[in-house]
Structure 1
Amino acid sequence: MQHVLISGGTGLIGRRLIKNLQDKYKITVISRDPSRAKRLLGDNIGTVSLGEISHINDYSAIINLAGEPIADKRWTDNQKQVICDSRWDITTRLVDLINNARDKPEVFISGSAVGVYGRQGDTPIDEDFEDYHDEFSSQVCRKWESIALGAQTRVCIARTGIVLDENGGALAKMIMPFRLGLGGPISAGTQFMSWIHIEDMVKALEFMLTNGKCKGPYNFTAPNPNTNAFFSIKLAKRLDRPCIFRVPKVVIKTLMGESSDLVLYGQKVLPERLMAAGFTFSYPTLEEALNALDI
């Protein structure tokens, strides 16, 4: 049985990915607290701290999903450094392990985000787009990707959009005001939200894992991005709640500071390379995705 090493395995995406892979692969998870990871993931999942790994000769694949949540706290100088270090440091270490390995893994799948493009308007963006808007989210992702691409094996970069899952992530933060009947668009609501259902997210990661022709950056977003206003209307309808309020820009900026850029601006991102490679989305439209969630 092939052996897969995963960082970020206790996170939202990691847990669902492990659930999908554990009957087909032997899995070991890198964790700062291996005993806690073992309790969360079960006894059949191996756990190890990064410092305990001396070589990776026994692994056929490495999936790197580790990173401090980017929108959970205000972007103080200290928090920005934590966000950067949590991505760059572990990726650097994994790349060094790959490059020094006697038997290199067949593939290195490393995380990124659609934030690499920075704030954009309504122009459709695919993986060939390089007119990045120079801001913090873009700087973090661009360096993160650059480090990962230094690995001497097949490298796939997962530029992830907003992951829709009933158990956490961005959607969990959005739902409460809608449940209370206070939900609505943010600011003008014209900013695009590039999203992906959690099942398509993990299915696409497994597609990268098994498809030897996949290499380079891929947009992990559904093929139908929507404006924030459209998203708000569809979410309200799914929850059978009104969508009559609008959150002013000044309120978001006051609450979130600089990190408000993540919700006030967006990108219309399309998964051109995923579709060209033959990947099929189970939930290509927002209505299908929301209806499939237990919310």
Structure 2
Amino acid sequence: MRVAITGSNGLIGSALVRSLLDDGHQVVRLVRAASAAVPRDGSEVVHWDPAGGGARLEGVEAVVHLAGAGVGDRRWTASYKREIRDSRVRGTHAVARACAAEAVPPRVLVSASAAGYYGDTGGRPVDESAPAGDDFLASVCVEWEAAAEPAREAGIRVVHPRTGLVVAREGGAFGRMLPLFRLGLGGRLGSGEQYWPFISLTDHVAALRFALDTDALSGPVNFTAPEPLTNREVTRALGRALHRPALAPAPALALRAVLGEFATSLTGSARVVPAALSRAGFTFRHPTFEQALRSVL
């Protein structure tokens, strides 16, 4: 299979590229830099313009769109919130239009979304049928998913992975937390009672591969493990696994002072469950947080 990928150098994208190449698939990296170096792993490089110019996808059978400004990379100023929204909405629209423009379009577009779609749901379990929340990230997710409409109108199967916290040591939010816990500086955030949906990097890549291959899967799909934990349970498990104390809580007000509006996403609760993946027959290698944690430690 010939698969085009945006965000191929990110945490998830680079792992997906390795997985596909290892299994003999062809990978086309869609990159913004016109002069990007040719990778040594056998993948191809094609320039694309996320601001609206799209990309040539001739001969591509599937597209995985992962690119977007990092939600936790910077404090949420008004300008950075615009960048978060625009990088997702405009980029997705460009990819979807490029898919639809091909004489023989790709058969599937897997276009990223996030578990933040649901907002703060408290302790109530939510699956893909739940409505969107009313905070900033939820509104971004709604527009983000809607931007893929040109591909849907062209008859392309579109899947939106609504991803939780990816458990990996290589990067992402969890990768930034791990060194603090190794130093004994970790602890719960806010009350600690908020649910954190999570998924191991191994399971995330496997679920992306499953979405590419499973024709019955379309629309929103929660990429979260079956047993979400509270932040307090996550931090205790990390402390036990690393043999370090996890006693220094970060109060909600302090988080707000340091992180601004992004703190709301860390202290809000989202007990998200993977109903669509389960119905389709996907098997998690790391269904519990302890198993996901062992996979990276």
Normalising to structure 1: TM-score of the pair? 0.94
Q: Retained in 2: the 8 A contact 1:63–1:109? A: yes
**Corresponding residue to 1:248 among 247, 251, 254:** 251
How far, CA to CA, are the matches of 1:187 and 1:140 in structure 2?
Answer: 24
Q: Which amino acid aligns with 1:145?
A: E
1:268 aligns with 2:271: yes
Q: Retained in 2: the 8 A contact 1:204–1:220? A: yes
How far, CA to CA, are the matches of 1:147 and 1:27 in structure 2?
Answer: 24
**Matched residue, 2:5:** 6
How far, CA to CA, are the matches of 1:232 and 1:43 in structure 2?
Answer: 37
**Matched residue, 1:47:** 45
Secondary structure at 1:175's aligned position in 2? helix
Q: Which amino acid aligns with 2:140?
A: V
CA RMSD of superposed structures (Å): 1.5
How far, CA to CA, are the matches of 2:5 and 2:251 in structure 1?
Answer: 40
Q: 1:34 to 1:18 in 2, by over 3 A?
A: farther
How far, CA to CA, are the matches of 2:36 and 2:257 in structure 1?
Answer: 36
Single out whichever of 136-145 and 44-53 deviates more from structure 2.
44-53
Q: Retained in 1: the 8 A contact 2:36–2:45? A: no
Q: Retained in 1: the 8 A contact 2:197–2:272? A: yes
**Matched residue, 1:227:** 230
How far, CA to CA, are the matches of 1:54 and 1:242 in structure 2?
Answer: 49
Single out whichever of 153-162 and 17-26 deviates more from structure 2.
17-26
Q: Retained in 2: the 8 A contact 1:34–1:47? A: no
**Matched residue, 2:20:** 21
Q: 1:254 to 1:159 in 2, by over 3 A?
A: same
How far, CA to CA, are the matches of 2:147 and 2:137 in structure 1?
Answer: 16
Single out whichever of 94-103 and 7-16 deviates more from structure 2.
94-103
**Matched residue, 2:137:** 137
How far, CA to CA, are the matches of 2:230 and 2:41 in structure 1?
Answer: 43
How far, CA to CA, are the matches of 2:54 and 2:198 in structure 1?
Answer: 34
Secondary structure at 1:292's aligned position in 2? helix
Structural mapping, 1:208-219, within 5 Å: 208-219=211-222
- Quote how far apart the aligned CAs of 1:149 are: 3.8
- Quote how far apart the aligned CAs of 1:197 are: 0.1
Secondary structure at 1:188's aligned position in 2? coil
Q: Which amino acid aligns with 1:8?
A: G
Identity %, equivalent residues: 36
Secondary structure at 2:109's aligned position in 1? strand
Q: 1:238 to 1:80 in 2, by over 3 A?
A: same
Single out whichever of 181-190 and 59-68 deviates more from structure 2.
181-190
- Quote how far apart the aligned CAs of 1:184 are: 1.1
What stretches of structure 1 of length at least 5 have no aligned partner? none
**Matched residue, 2:31:** 31
Q: Retained in 1: the 8 A contact 2:187–2:247? A: yes
1:178 aligns with 2:181: yes
Normalising to structure 2: TM-score of the pair? 0.94
Single out whichever of 189-198 and 96-105 deviates more from structure 2.
96-105
- Quote how far apart the aligned CAs of 1:42 are: 2.5
How far, CA to CA, are the matches of 1:245 and 1:258 in structure 2?
Answer: 22
Q: Which amino acid aligns with 2:254?
A: V
Single out whichever of 135-144 and 82-91 deviates more from structure 2.
82-91
Q: Which amino acid aligns with 1:185?
A: R
What count of residue pairs does the alignment treat as equivalent? 290
**Matched residue, 1:69:** 70
Q: Retained in 1: the 8 A contact 2:46–2:55? A: no
**Matched residue, 1:101:** 102
Single out whichever of 260-269 and 168-177 deviates more from structure 2.
168-177
**Matched residue, 1:121:** 122
**Hey, which bits of structure 1, 4+ residues long, moved more than 3 A?**
34-38, 51-55
How far, CA to CA, are the matches of 1:272 and 1:8 in structure 2?
Answer: 26
- Quote how far apart the aligned CAs of 1:266 are: 2.4
Q: Retained in 2: the 8 A contact 1:10–1:37? A: no
Secondary structure at 2:216's aligned position in 1? coil
Q: Retained in 2: the 8 A contact 1:159–1:217? A: yes
Q: Retained in 1: the 8 A contact 2:90–2:147? A: no
